[in-house]
Amino acid sequence: MKRLVVTACALSGLWSVELAPATEIPATATSIAPATEIPATATSIAPATEVPATVTALAPVQSPAEIDESGPQFATPTTMDQIGRIVAPVMINGRGPFKLMVDTGANRSLITTTVADALGLDYRSAPLVTMNGVTGSAVVPAVAIDRLEAGELVFTGLQVPVLPPHLVGQADGILGIAGLREQRLVVDFERDRVTISKAKLWNSDLLRVDAHRVAGGLLAAKARVGRVRVIAVVDTGGQITLGNRALQEALRAEARDQIEVLGTTEAIVMGDTARVPDLDFGDVSIRRVRVTFGDFHIFDIWNLNDEPALIIGMDVLGALGAFMIDFRLAEIHFRA
């Protein structure tokens, strides 16, 4: 029987961004066609101290004007000195491409003030909406977008929040895909490839983990941290892995560091970081996972505070060779 063992990276100088469902934004009208290959949130934190890692270093994804063609542009792995991220080139109202981070933890997309200015969208006098993030909620302007395209994945008639660039990790925005129903996301860090395509029968060498939907259309899987059963959400927008207080108490995890956690709002929450036992999804085992525990607003929004729960960020996902999320079949696949 095949078993996958992955060593996660605990890094210093991390950031991340989480976008939960916006409570006052009208539902998006979507028209989704099969996509070909398309090349992509959750919290800002103060530096952590430990730095173990086992992934070959590659250049980080940079802004469009600074891209180094020798490094990955779309699927950047996690290494000893950087957190990986997943980026997609996106056309908005026929302009672009803009670099948006793909976020499986968000069912809404957003753009930055810089992008809004480039598109001539007046966010300063736009209607306000309430947006929920990892650490709290905020009232922000939202602008109308006629068409957003990532490859052949097309969204029409959107109303998207507009945020300052520093709240989205200096990307151009966030491509929220938690609400997808028929598509598949494939991320291959070794080939620097990100694909969103129509789900169909597909043979692969990835190990499968069954998942189920929770609040907001998120896909979650049953897992174990040591002997503790947890609900685990795979969040490509989250840069660090977060745990709720129920998990911290069940593990009796003592904090080794306290850090400030900042999300897509300006609210700051203190988090307790600790190394936890192996994270197991059936035949998939992830070692040396570092979790930040806290009273995070996002767990309330997702109704994940009553039992041990984990939001798996890119510090763990970026240490994999590849992974796939099949939204139609509610499956998650991993490869070392």
Question: Does residue 97 have a cis peptide bond before it, meaning omega lies within 30 degrees of 0?
Answer: yes
Q: Are 46 and 260 in contact (CB under 8 A)?
A: yes
List the chain domain ranges. Answer: 15-198, 207-335
Report the pLDDT value the prediction gives residue 55, as an integer from 0 to 100.
Answer: 29
Domains 15-198 and 207-335 fall in the same CATH topology? yes
Q: Assess if CATH 2.40.70.10 describes domain 15-198.
A: yes
Report the pLDDT value the prediction gives residue 203, as an integer from 0 to 100.
Answer: 60
Report the pLDDT value the prediction gives residue 50, as an integer from 0 to 100.
Answer: 39
Report the pLDDT value the prediction gives residue 141, as an integer from 0 to 100.
Answer: 96
Tokens representing 47 are 């530096």
C-alpha span between 46 and 204 (Å, rounded): 38
**Bridge partners (DSSP) listed for residue 182:** none
pLDDT tens track, the chain, 336 positions: 444 544 454 333 233 333 433 333 333 333 333 333 333 333 333 333 333 333 222 223 333 333 344 456 788 888 777 788 899 999 999 999 999 999 998 888 999 999 999 999 999 999 999 998 888 899 999 999 999 998 778 999 999 999 999 888 879 999 999 888 888 899 999 888 888 888 665 666 788 889 998 877 788 999 999 999 999 999 998 889 999 999 999 999 888 889 888 778 888 899 999 999 999 987 888 888 999 999 999 999 999 999 999 999 999 999 889 999 999 889 998 887
Residue type, 48: A
Q: Which of 164, 40, 19, 146 is nearest to 92 (CA)?
A: 146
- The helix/strand/coil state of 196 is strand
C-alpha span between 229 and 140 (Å, rounded): 37
Report the pLDDT value the prediction gives residue 180, as an integer from 0 to 100.
Answer: 87
Topology (CATH level 3) of domain 207-335: Cathepsin D, subunit A; domain 1 (2.40.70)
Report the pLDDT value the prediction gives residue 202, as an integer from 0 to 100.
Answer: 62
C-alpha span between 178 and 192 (Å, rounded): 22
Report the pLDDT value the prediction gives residue 181, as an integer from 0 to 100.
Answer: 87
